[in-house]
Structure 1
Amino acid sequence: MLDKLEALKVFCITAETLQFKQTANILSVSPPVITRVIAELEEYLGEPLFRRNTRQIHLTEFGADFLPHAKQLLAQSDELFSQAKHYREEDIKGTVRIAFPDVPFNEAVLQELLERLSAYPELVLDWRVSAQRLNVVHAQIDLGLRVGFAVDSRLIMRRIGYMRERIVAAPELIAKLGMPKDLQDLQKRYPLAGLIDRNTGRAWVWNISEQQQFVPHEYAFVSDDQHLNLGAALAGKAVAQAGDWLCADYLARGELVELFADMPKLPWPACLYRNQTLVTSPRVRLVFDLLADILPKYFSQ
């Protein structure tokens, strides 16, 4: 008998990997199991989901149309069951591997999480912090936080808020140069700080809004660390773009000035994710649910 929810999970992961063998590795089952589940799902739907040849598979037009509906249903079912889940102490033991970006509130989040987990002494957290996006399968990551628009059908993702980036400078620099009239004026007359993307080795483009980007032609300061980048702005060395989670306190204290404050800003979605597996361990689900409750206060909604 076909388990429809489990079949949808297999389909969504296979749509990402486009390899039955890799899907089998992710789900810790044999490739014939994946082949059988996909075949049964196709028979149930009355339409092929994949085109197959000897080397690879591709989504059919029907499969591509069906995929977003499958993802939505899985997300809804996961949220429904997580609300009704109760945890027993004897079930919560072992290691949970967590991946977070380098955000200023990591320590505060960890402290609150550990307090809430005090009833589970046999639970071990393996907490990784990196500016690089990890391969969650190869790194054996159970759950984590991502900020951005990238979609990965191997993951169950829950949006917890948004992050917006602001263009900031020290008051001393603005007193010297005045406020820029527009982005063209900013490009011509102001020293600029560049933040290096550690995944590509190139400086990030400044995403101003959904319709507008700003690409500095020259830099007065460059770093692959967002804290040092902001430090250059605080020192009056350069104008920088920084996430509101990093610069909000400095703006509130008057140590930084926001440029183009009235300009619409691109809302970057912040999502908590976990691996989409056929069976999620109670320890992973517990930590996921606790972080989903802790994190929203650190983001705009």
Structure 2
Amino acid sequence: MLNRLDALKYFCIAAETLQFRETAVRMSVSPQVVTRMIAELEEELGTLLFVRNTRNMQLTEFGERFLPQAQQYLLNGEKLFATAKQKQSAMSGIVRITVPRLPENDAILADLAERCADYPELRIDWRVDAAKLHLVGNQIDIGLRIGFEPDPLMIIRKIVEMQDKFVISPLLLAKLGPPEDLEDLQKRFPVSNLINVDTGRSWGWPLNDELHLFPKQLRFSTDDPYSELSAALSGMTCSLIADYMCNEHIESGRLMELFSDIPRKCWQMYLYRPQRTMTSTHVLKVFDWLTEILLRYYKK
């Protein structure tokens, strides 16, 4: 199948040099390739572009009329690519970002918006969702997630490690008395559990590699970590809450930590983007910006 753009390039150079051999040198191909390409273009157009003999060649009348049109077509194509490249380098386009709900979301977004202020053609699509969105279907460029194992097929930037903590309100602890151990906690205490939004099943309590419990006296379940935190703060439940969510409440005395001596598995907060053959300049820049912003908020 004829590549029309390439064929026009061969034709324009051949029209300039009036030599297929010189055209071949400029295009870094053999003279036979030039001869074949011109012949295919002439067949596509239904007429000759050159008249040739053993000593010289020249453009036909049609070839002379066709040459300025071909040159203009190639020039427009160069302008098209130059303009598109200039726009990309000028930070133009959309960046689709998915993040979980975090206490600092508003502040993080405000910092990112400040970075974007100098680039009016840069658009941000910001999705706050606990579910891991499909990268291709939702055309995700950048994601922020908290989990045990990042996808190895992604380009990852680790922000911080974090752990879960058993927390309870002072009021509920005073009412029931301190639990002797985890078994006592499961028997006597109303507890909450978080639902995995990707599977619809309970996360349970994944404490470490040897200990993964499932609550028995379940009083509250939800797919929203902040609703689970509210249940613990209200004195409704004893809950296993991520430290980045409950630390400030422990410091203020609104919550108390239980069993701090039990080893906990570490979660990772990480920024990721898909591995692609080419990633746009504006996506890479926003990826760098978000890395800097998140490290400022979460790096310990």
Contact 1:99 1:129 in 2 (8 A): yes
Give the deviation of 1:300 after TM superposition: 5.4
Give 2:248's aligned residue. 249
Give 2:109's aligned residue. 110
Give 2:146's aligned residue. 147
Q: 1:239 to 1:99 in 2, by over 3 A?
A: same
Cα distance per residue 1:194-248 (max 9 Å; x no partner): 1111111122111212332221123111112111111111111110111111111
Give 1:293's aligned residue. 292
Give 2:60's aligned residue. none
Q: Distance in 2 between matches of 1:249 and 1:151?
A: 27
- Provide the secondary structure at the position in 1 that maps to 2:124: strand
Give the deviation of 1:112 after TM superposition: 0.9
Q: Distance in 1 between matches of 2:280 and 2:133?
A: 21
Amino acid at match of 2:157: R
Give the deviation of 1:90 after TM superposition: 5.1
Q: 1:205 to 1:298 in 2, by over 3 A?
A: farther
Q: Distance in 2 between matches of 1:232 and 1:300?
A: 28
Cα distance per residue 1:1-33 (max 9 Å; x no partner): xxxxxxxxxxxxxxxxxxxxxxxxxxxxxxxxx
Contact 1:89 1:119 in 2 (8 A): no
Contact 2:108 2:294 in 1 (8 A): yes
- Provide the secondary structure at the position in 2 that maps to 1:110: helix
Q: Determine if the alignment matches structure 1 residue 91 to structure 2 residue 96.
A: no
Higher Rg of the two aligned structures? 2
Give 1:193's aligned residue. 192
Give 1:206's aligned residue. 205
Give 2:54's aligned residue. none
Contact 2:142 2:273 in 1 (8 A): yes
Give 1:59's aligned residue. none
Segments of structure 1 that go 5 or more residues without pairing to the other structure are: 1-86
Give 1:120's aligned residue. 119
Q: Distance in 1 between matches of 2:200 and 2:87?
A: 46
Amino acid at match of 1:200: T
Give 2:167's aligned residue. 168
Segments of structure 2 that go 5 or more residues without pairing to the other structure are: 1-85
Amino acid at match of 1:149: F
Give the deviation of 1:186 after TM superposition: 0.7
Give the deviation of 1:192 after TM superposition: 0.5
Q: TM-score when scaled to structure 1?
A: 0.68
Higher relative contact order (CA 8 A, sep 6+): 1
Q: Distance in 2 between matches of 1:195 and 1:127?
A: 24
Q: Distance in 2 between matches of 1:112 and 1:88?
A: 24
- Provide the secondary structure at the position in 2 that maps to 1:220: strand
Q: TM-score when scaled to structure 2?
A: 0.68
- Provide the secondary structure at the position in 1 that maps to 2:127: strand
Give 1:217's aligned residue. 216
Identity of aligned residues (%): 43
Give 2:28's aligned residue. none
Give the deviation of 1:290 after TM superposition: 0.7
**Cα RMSD, aligned residues only:** 1.9
Cα distance per residue 1:50-104 (max 9 Å; x no partner): xxxxxxxxxxxxxxxxxxxxxxxxxxxxxxxxxxxxx999520111000101222
Give 1:181's aligned residue. 180
Contact 2:192 2:238 in 1 (8 A): yes
Contact 2:188 2:217 in 1 (8 A): no
Give 2:273's aligned residue. 274
Contact 1:183 1:214 in 2 (8 A): no
- Provide the secondary structure at the position in 2 that maps to 1:104: coil
Amino acid at match of 1:195: L
Q: 1:299 to 1:213 in 2, by over 3 A?
A: farther
